[in-house]
Amino acid sequence: METLYILRHGIAVAPGTPGLADDDRPLTPKGRKRLREIGRGLSRLDLNPDRIVTSPLPRAGETAEIVAESMGKGGLVEVDDVLRSGSDSRVIREWLRGRREARLMIIGHNPALSDLIALLVVDEGSSGPVCELKKGGIAALRPLPGGADRFELEWIATPRLIRRLSAVKPRPRG
C-alpha cells in the first residue's frame, strides 16, 4: 500500500432520534451538502484512490457515494462490515494487512478511526489518540519502510479546510 486515506462519515441525524435505530441514522441535509463540498475539495487534491471501502451503515455509505461521485470514482465503492460502528481498531488493522490496493480510502466511524490512526502511527503503546477526526475529516497515512504495520501521518485535514479547497479557483497552467 502506498497511501491509506481515512475519512470519517459526515454529519448524521442525532443519536437517540425517536423511531430511528442508531445503525439506521442517515446523513442530514447539511451533512450531504458539506460532503459534496468535501468531495470537490478532495478531487482538487488528486487523491485517486484505487478503492473506497465503507461501513455498511447509511451515514457512512452515503458519505462514500457522495465523495466517490464528486471525485469521479463512483464505481470504486465497496462495503465491508469490518468498518461498522463499534469495530475495534486492531481488527481493522488486521483487515488492512490483506488489502492490495496502492491507494485505499476507508470510511467509517469514531472512535475506531481515530484509534486506528494512533495504532498505525504510534503502535500499541499509545496513551491516547494522535488526533480526533471530525465528521468529514480525513487523514492520509503512508507505510514506513520495512512494513511491520507502522505508518507515518502524512497529513490530516479538517472538513472546513477541505470544503474551502472546493471554492479555490484553479490557477492557469503553463
The architecture (CATH level 2) of 3-141+154-167 comes to 3-Layer(aba) Sandwich (3.40)
pTM for the whole structure = 0.92
CA distances from 152 to 50, 52, 56, 107 (A): 20, 20, 28, 19
Report pLDDT for 160.
94
Q: What is the pLDDT of residue 143?
A: 92
**Which residues of the chain have a pLDDT value below 70?**
124-129, 147-148, 170-174
| pLDDT score, position 166 | 82
Alpha-carbon torsion angle 76, 81, 87, 88, nearest 10: -80
pLDDT value, residue 167: 80
Question: For residues 60 and 48, what is the distance between their CA atoms, to the nearest angstrom?
Answer: 19
pLDDT in tens, 45-85: 988 899 999 999 999 999 999 999 998 888 899 999 999 99
Helices (H) and strands (E) in the chain, counts: 5, 6
